[in-house]
Structure 1
Amino acid sequence: MRVKSLRELLAVGLVAASVGAHAATPPAQPAEGPGGVGDRKATIMKRGLGRAGAPTYAFYAAAPAPEAGRPVAVFLHGWGAVNPQSYGGWIDHLVRQGWLVLYPRFQEVNRTRPSDAPANAEALIKAALDEVATDKEAKPDLSKVALIGHLAGAPMAMDIAGSARKSGLPVPKLIFAAVPGGIASGPKSRGITLTNLDDIAPETLIVAMVGDKDSRAADAASKRLLREASAVPAERKLFVRALSDDHGFPAMTATLAAPAGVDTAFDAGAIKLPPDPKDGPKPPPFRWSAEMALTGEQQTLVSQINAARTDALDYLGFWKTFDLAAAAAFSGSDAVALKGNPRLADMERWSDGWPVKRLFVEVPKPVKAPAVANGQEPARR
C-alpha cells in the first residue's frame, strides 16, 4: 500500500506539473505607460537620510531632475514591514517612472507605539524633504506629492494629510490607501488613531484599493477612511477592488499582502546610513508597553509581505491604478473621470486570450448630512 500511495502521489505531482506547464500564463508587464516598466536603463540611487537610528530611505534615478523637480511618493509601510525590499518591486517601478520615493522607517519593531507612529513619520518626511531640497538629482516637486499607505500605513497617510498644513508638510494631491488596516477602534485599543481627517484638503484625490481575499476588514476600513474625510467631495473619492483569478498558472490571489513585491535590490541592510550625531537631541528613555509588540496575526502578515512576489495584480492592479490616479490628481481631474477611463479596470488577458478578471471600481455615494433640529448646527465629529 505504501508503494502504491507513493506512486499515486508521484502521478498526481506529474499531472499538476503538466497542467502548470501548459496552463495559460498571466499578462506581461507593459513596457511603458501606467503600470509599465519605464526607463529600463535608469540607475537607481538608494540613500539613507536623517540618522541611522531613524532613517528615511530615498530612491530616485541617477540623472538630473527636471527643472521643477521630481514628483514625490511617500511610501508608508505596513506595521512591522520596515525593510523597503518588501515593496521593492513597486519602488523600482516608481523610480523608473521618474518619481522620488521616500520610505520613512517610522517604526522600530517591538519598540514603537502605534500612537507615536504618525508623528514619527511626519518628522522623518519633513527632514528628508529638507535634506534633498536642493539636490540636483533628487530635487522634489512639492506641488506633486502623493502618499501611499499599506495596511496601517493607510490610516497614517490619512492622518498625515489631515495635519499637513499644521506640521509644515506639503499638502498631498493624492492619498492611495492600499488594503487599509490597523485602525484603532477606541481610545485604549491598539492601532492608528484617526485624527484630523475632516481637515484633509477638499482638492485631494483619495483612492482606497483592496483585494477580494480576507476583504471584510479592509472593506470596512476603506469605507471609514473615505467617509471620515468629510471635506473631500464624493467625486474625489474612489473605491477599487482587485479580484483573484486562477484561470491560469501562477494564479493571482488578491490577499492583504498583495501590494507587496519583494526585490532584494532594495534591502535596507545594503543601504548606507548616516551616522548618528554625537551631539544633538537624544531619544527619550525607552519604556516598553504591550502595544509595541507585534501580535501573532501581525507576525504572520509580515511574513506574508516579506515573501510576496510581484505579479499582474501588482503592475496591472495596484501600480497602474496608482499611476492613473496620480496623473488625474496632478492634472486636477476627479474620481468620476478616473473611473470613466477604460484603462483603469482592464486587467488585460491570459496568454490563451481569456480576459483577466477586471477591477471593481465605484465612486462612493455622498454621505447625507445629519438632520438639523430646531435650527441648531449639527455637532462636529
Structure 2
Amino acid sequence: MRLTARRVLLAGLLAFSAGLASAQAATPPGQPKDGPGGVGDTQTGIAKRALGRGTNVTFAFHAADAAPAQGRPVAVFLHGWGAVNPQSYGAWIDHLARNGWLVLFPRFQEVNRTRPADATANAGRLVKAALDEIAADPQAKPDRARVALIGHLAGVPIALNLAAEAATLGLPAPKLVFGTMPGGIASGPKARGIALADLSAVPAETLILTVIGDRDARAADIAARRLLREADAVPVERKLFLRALSDDHGFPALTATLAAPAAVDSAYDAGAIKVQPEAKDVKPPPFKWSPDMALTGEQQTLVAQINNARADTLDYLAFWKTFDLAAAAAFSNGSAAALKLNPRFADMERWSDGWPVKRLAVETPKAAPAAQNAPAARR
C-alpha cells in the first residue's frame, strides 16, 4: 500500500510539474495588428455570396462598403484537392477581405465527381464568369490590373496553368502566383493528378513564389522546383522558393505540415451562403465515373487535417505576411530579388521569452539548363 501511495504521489507531482512547465513555456508571436499579415479593419462587415448557380459557383468575399475608385485587388484562392469549403481557409480569406481584397474562391471540384484533368478548365471558367458577373458591383469592383493567384496543394499547379493560359481563357494575367505546399501534379499523360499546361507561356513579368514546410516536405519540394523550372520565361529574379521551418521552442509548437496554410473560420462556411439553384432549362452533362475522381485514403486524411487546422504564427508570418509583401511588390513591378533582401520578409519575430522563431529559408531557384527548356524535355 505504501509503495502504491508513493507511486500515486510521484505521478501527481510529475503531472503538476508538466502542467506548470506548459503554463510557463514561451508562447509564439500573435498576429500583427496592422501591416503585412495584420488584422486589418475589424469594424467592417464582410460581404459573402455565391456567384453562379448550382454546383458551378465561385464564392466571393469583400468588405461590405464602397470599393475604392481604383477598385479592389483580386485574390483568386485555389483550394487543395477535396478541400472545397472556403471555411477551411476562412482565417486567411478574412485577413484578405479586411485588408481591402476581393477574394474569389472557385469551387472547381465536386468531390468524387470531378476528374483532376478537368480542374483547370473548371477553375478558369468559374473565375471568368465570376469576374464578369461582379464587374459592375460598386462594393466588389474588381481591379483586373491587380490580380494574384493563391494555390494550396493541387491548387498550385492549377494556378500556374491559369497564369499560362489566361489569355486563352479570357482572364486577366495575374501579377503574382503564390503557391503553398504544391502537389497533385500528374507524372505523365495518363497518370492521376493535375496535368501541367505549357508553363513557358507564363508571362515574364509574373512574380512566382512557392512555399513549402519542413514536414512531409519531399513531394512538395520536388513539385515546387518543377513548377519554378518549367515557368522558364519568367527570369529567376522574379521567382522565390521559400521553406517554413517547424519550431518547438515554446508552446504551442509551430509545425510546418502540408495542412499548415489552412486555417478554419466557420464564418466562411459555404453551407451558410445562399446558392441559386441551377436553371430548370439547363440539363447537366452526362456523368461518367472515373477512378481518379475518388479521394485516396491519403487525400482523405489530409483533407481532415485541413478541415481542423487553426491559425497560428506560421499563418500570420510565413504565409499571409509573405503574400502581402509579394503582392505589394508584384503590383508595383518590384522583383523577387528585392523581396529576398528585405530583412522583414523572412523574419518570424520572437517567442514571448525573446528567443527568435526560426526564420523562413529563402532561396532563388537556379535557372533551368538549356536542355530542360526544350519542349521535348517537358513531362
- TM-score of the pair, normalised by structure 1: 0.95
**1:346 aligned onto 2:347:** yes
Please state whether the residue corresponding to 1:370 is helix, strand or coil.
Answer: helix
Q: C-alpha deviations, 1:197-251, integer Å up to 9, x for none?
A: 1100110000000111111110110000000001111111000011001111100
**Other-structure match for 1:151:** 153
Please state whether the residue corresponding to 1:26 is helix, strand or coil.
Answer: coil
Q: C-alpha deviations, 1:278-300, integer Å up to 9, x for none?
A: 123x2211111111000000000
Please state whether the residue corresponding to 1:36 is helix, strand or coil.
Answer: coil
**Other-structure match for 1:160:** 162
1:188 offset after TM fit, Å? 1.5
Q: C-alpha deviations, 1:41-73, integer Å up to 9, x for none?
A: 110010011012221100000010111210000
* 1:367–1:278 Cα change, 3 Å: same
**Other-structure match for 2:370:** 369
Equivalent runs, 1:239-318 vs 2, <5 Å: 239-280=241-282, 282-318=283-319
Conserved? CA contact 2:50–2:58, under 8 Å = yes
Question: Could you tell me which amino acid in structure 2 is paired with residue 317 of structure 1?
Answer: A
Q: C-alpha deviations, 1:292-333, integer Å up to 9, x for none?
A: 000000000000000101000000110001000000000001
Question: Could you tell me which amino acid in structure 2 is paired with residue 256 of structure 1?
Answer: L
Distance 2:288 2:375 in 1: 41
1:12 offset after TM fit, Å? 4.1
* 1:206–1:5 Cα change, 3 Å: farther
Distance 1:119 1:317 in 2: 30
Distance 2:372 2:149 in 1: 34
Q: C-alpha deviations, 1:255-298, integer Å up to 9, x for none?
A: 00000000011011111112211123x22111111110000000
Alpha carbon RMSD of aligned pairs, Å?
1.7
* 1:11–1:329 Cα change, 3 Å: same
2:42 is aligned, of 37, 40, 43, to 40
Distance 2:55 2:187 in 1: 30
Equivalent runs, 1:223-238 vs 2, <5 Å: 223-238=225-240
Equivalent runs, 1:1-381 vs 2, <5 Å: 10-280=12-282, 282-370=283-371, 381=378
Question: Could you tell me which amino acid in structure 2 is paired with residue 63 of structure 1?
Answer: D
1:134 offset after TM fit, Å? 0.4
1:6 offset after TM fit, Å? 6.4
Aligned residue pairs: how many? 376
Conserved? CA contact 2:54–2:275, under 8 Å = yes
1:14 offset after TM fit, Å? 2.9
Which deviates more from structure 2 when the two are superposed, residues 11-20 or residues 247-256?
11-20
Distance 1:6 1:210 in 2: 45
* 1:149–1:24 Cα change, 3 Å: same
Question: Could you tell me which amino acid in structure 1 is paired with residue 268 of structure 2?
Answer: F
* 1:13–1:303 Cα change, 3 Å: farther
1:379 offset after TM fit, Å? 5.3
Distance 1:101 1:6 in 2: 56
- TM-score of the pair, normalised by structure 2: 0.96
Unaligned runs of 5+ in 2: none
Please state whether the residue corresponding to 1:111 is helix, strand or coil.
Answer: coil
1:182 offset after TM fit, Å? 0.5
Conserved? CA contact 1:75–1:102, under 8 Å = yes
Question: Could you tell me which amino acid in structure 2 is paired with residue 344 of structure 1?
Answer: F
Distance 1:58 1:158 in 2: 21
Question: Could you tell me which amino acid in structure 2 is paired with residue 84 of structure 1?
Answer: P
Distance 2:272 2:372 in 1: 57
Conserved? CA contact 1:242–1:359, under 8 Å = yes
Distance 1:56 1:294 in 2: 22
Distance 1:30 1:371 in 2: 42
* 1:267–1:5 Cα change, 3 Å: farther
Conserved? CA contact 1:370–1:378, under 8 Å = no
Question: Could you tell me which amino acid in structure 2 is paired with residue 265 of structure 1?
Answer: A
Q: C-alpha deviations, 1:132-157, integer Å up to 9, x for none?
A: 00000001000000000000000000
Conserved? CA contact 2:371–2:377, under 8 Å = no
1:13 offset after TM fit, Å? 3.5
Please state whether the residue corresponding to 1:333 is helix, strand or coil.
Answer: coil
Q: C-alpha deviations, 1:86-111, integer Å up to 9, x for none?
A: 00010000001100000000000011
Distance 1:213 1:290 in 2: 29
Please state whether the residue corresponding to 2:351 is helix, strand or coil.
Answer: coil
* 1:5–1:268 Cα change, 3 Å: farther
Please state whether the residue corresponding to 2:371 is helix, strand or coil.
Answer: coil
